[in-house]
Each structure stands twice: as structure tokens, then as C-alpha cells.
Amino acid sequence: MRRSTFFSFVAPSVMSMLILIALPLVAIIYLSLHQSYTQMEIKEVKTEVPLFGGKTREVIRNVPQPVLDDNGNGIQVWEYVGAQNLKNAIDTEGLSAAFKADQELETPRSFIKALFDEVRDVDFWSALEFTLIYTFLTTPIIIILGFGLALATNRLTERLRGPVVFVTLLPMIVTPVVSSLAVYWLFVDGGVIAASLEAMGIGKFYFLADQFTIRAVIVAYGVWYAAPFAFIILYAGLQTVPDDPIEAAIIDGASPWQRVRYIVIPHLSPLFAVIALIHIMDSYRVFEPILVFGSRVFANSVQYLTYYTLVFEDNIHKAAAYAILTVLGVIVLLIPIMIKTFKDQKAGK
């Protein structure tokens, strides 16, 4: 193929990658390196607020008011702050304070425990803690569960497969916010699960009342939501397993488990890598259950922090810094899988 032909073929995808991936990334980095605000000064202002029935209450307060330029418009400050937003996001100050605070403790064990408690008190690190727990718990579970479901479905008769595949995919079809709400309503006071347990005489359970159970519910939600994804990919993969080696294995007297272990799993191994890759990217950005379950005090996520900073602090620059940290976190988690895939490909050649 001539070079120019090659370039004209790849140009559309290169362009779309530049516009849809590279440009937003650059914009986020640019935003995170700056800080902007309206210049304000504190002035005494008399305000009137309505009560009802025509009554009002007058309040005189010191309020920040905009500093105006010659045209009567507020002055916008846009300044380069370097890594300051990133530093604020990971809270380097809080972190170093955490290390200094515990110098007097005697045993190494109590030191580590106290240090861990201090570090967890910092927003970013506590969010990272649960994000990682969520990622590392759900990834293996969805692969095992999805694989089991795929094997089971594959043994069904042709007529049953269609409906079973459809039903299994349902959790993935439902919008995450809606399914998070559905799960939340199962567990809240008077919810189906809480009420059934009580009706069965097992007693009252408050699933949203402490860290362990609320985290368990969120992880269970994550598994329920993502397992169909692993299932459908592995189920498709199972259709490509060649019959010959399986037949040969049967003739050689291999047990069903040995057939799966020595023929099916090696055949599907690239798919396992793909599922792990995509699910890690997805689960590191866990957001909806955190938002819906409301218990940030028990479970927080890096993605939620980005949202919070944007919405409640109205600070797009620090939110951009959190977004960069999310991307970096995903990259770090993916490195081992990328290396493995790369090696496999090389070996395959």
C-alpha cells in the first residue's frame, strides 16, 4: 500500500481520536493548570427580603461585591497556578500532616494504624480507598460469574438460549442511576429485602447503617450490573471454541472440568484480558451508586469527588485536577494488563 493511500484511510479515525480524545484531555490539563474567579471586595450592603403578607425584613451585611472595570463589568481573574490544583486535590498538606502527627507513637503497628486513619481522613485518599476496593473486588467476581453464566447458557437448548441471554443482559440495559435507585429501595427502611428479612423472623437489618454493609451492597450492585458484560463477551467467545480439540479430549477421557481448564480457558484468555481492561476502566469511575446511596461518609469515589467539586465548590479547575487523577489512576491499573497483552501478542508472532 502506498503511503498516501494509507494516510487517507486512517485519517478519519485519527481525526476523530484527536477531536474526541486528545482535545478534551488537553483542555482538562489546561484547565487544571489555571484558576479563575471574579475579583471581589467586601462592601456593606443593605438587603431586603420578603416575609409574607407584604412584610419584609431588612438586613445590613458585609457582602463580597464585584470590583468593576471602566465599563461597569466585573473583572475576571484567570491565572496560571501550575500544579497547585493537583496538590490541593491530593491534599499534599493533609498528607504530610498525617505523617508528622504520629511521630511519638511507639510500636510500628500502632504507628501504621494511626497513619492509615489520618490518611483516610483526607478526601482524596478516602475516596481512592473505596474506589480501589470496589475495582479489585468486582473485577474477579464478574469474570468468574460471567464465565459460569456463559458456560451454563451454552449448555441450554437452542430455544432457551435467546430468552436467557436477554434476561441476563437486563441489568446492563437499565440506566445505572435507575438501577442504583432500584437497589437502594430494596435495602432502605421498609424496602423489600429489609421487610422480608423481618417478616421471616430473622430480625431487623439496617444495610445502609454502617461502612461494611453499605460497601457490600454497593459491591454487590456493581457485580450485578457488570457481570452481564463479562457474560455476553465470554458467551460469544464460547461459540468460537473449535470442536476438534474438545472431541479429542473427550476421547482421551478428559473430565468436563479438564476440558474447560485446558482447552476453553486458554482459548478465551484474550477475552478475559479485554474484560478486565474495560471493567477496571469502568469500575474506577464508579459514581451512580455513591450518588444514590448518599453515604459518602461510608463510601466515596474519585469520580464523585470530581462531581462534588464541580457542583458544590463551583470549581472547574480543581474538578479538572480530579479528572486527571482519575485518568492517571486508570492508566496505572491498566499497565500490568497492557504489558501482558503486549507480551502475548509478541509471542503469538
Partner 1 sequence: MKLKQILMATALTLAPIGAAAECSIEGTGEVNVISNFFEALEVLANEMKTCGNDGLIIDTKLTTDHKEETSKAFTAATSPFDAAAVANSSITLLQAKGQLRPLNDLVEKYRDKYNIEDGMLIKFGDDVAAIAFMVNAQHLFFRKDIFEEHGVAVPTTWDELLVAGEKLKAAGIEHPYGAAFGNSWELANEYVNLLLANGGTLFDPATSESTFETPEAIAALKMMGKLYKFMSPNAMSMDFGDVKRQLQQGDVAMAILWGNEASAMDDENESTVVGKIGFAAAPAMAAGGAPASTFWWDGYVIPKNLDGDPDLTFQVLMHAMREETVKANNDITLWIRSAYEPGEYTTAITDTVVNGAPPYPMNPQASLAHGALGENIADFIVGKESAEESLADATKAYRAAAKEQGLLK
Sites of contact with partner 1 (CB under 8 A):
35, 37-40, 42, 45-57, 59, 61-66, 68, 73-74, 77, 88, 94, 121, 123, 177-178, 181, 184, 187-190, 206-210, 214, 291-298, 308, 310-315, 317-318
Q: How far is the CB of 91 from partner 1 (least distance, A)?
A: 8
Pairwise CA distance, residues 59 & 342, whole Å:
68
User: Around Cβ 181, how many Cβ atoms within 10 Å?
Assistant: 17
Q: How far is the CB of 237 from partner 1 (least distance, A)?
A: 36
Q: Where are the alpha helices (DSSP H) in the chain?
A: 3-17, 23-32, 84-90, 92-101, 108-120, 123-154, 158-173, 176-187, 192-199, 211-238, 243-251, 256-259, 265-284, 288-293, 302-311, 316-348
Q: How far is the CB of 40 from partner 1 (least distance, A)?
A: 6
CB 63 within 8 A of CB 41: no
User: Around Cβ 12, how many Cβ atoms within 10 Å?
Assistant: 9
Q: How far is the CB of 45 from partner 1 (least distance, A)?
A: 5
Closer residue to partner 1 in complex, CB, 145/292: 292
Closer residue to partner 1 in complex, CB, 46/346: 46
Closer residue to partner 1 in complex, CB, 52/80: 52
Q: How far is the CB of 59 from partner 1 (least distance, A)?
A: 7
Pairwise CA distance, residues 29 & 48, whole Å:
43
Closest of 285, 288, 291, 286 to residue 331, by C-alpha:
285
Q: How far is the CB of 166 from partner 1 (least distance, A)?
A: 25
Q: How far is the CB of 38 from partner 1 (least distance, A)?
A: 4
Closer residue to partner 1 in complex, CB, 130/147: 130
- Which residue is listed with cell 463580597? 64
Pairwise CA distance, residues 215 & 217, whole Å:
5
Buried b (16+ CB within 10 A) or exposed e, 207-233: bbeeeeebbebbbbbbbbbbbbbbbbb
Closer residue to partner 1 in complex, CB, 25/101: 101
Q: How far is the CB of 216 from partner 1 (least distance, A)?
A: 14
Closer residue to partner 1 in complex, CB, 118/280: 118
DSSP string, 75-120: PEEEEE-TTHHHHHHHTHHHHHHHHHHTTT--SHHHHHHHHHHHHH
Closer residue to partner 1 in complex, CB, 35/326: 35
CB 43 within 8 A of CB 16: no
* Residue partners of 249: CB distance under 8 A and separation at least 6: 258, 259, 262, 263
Closer residue to partner 1 in complex, CB, 41/243: 41
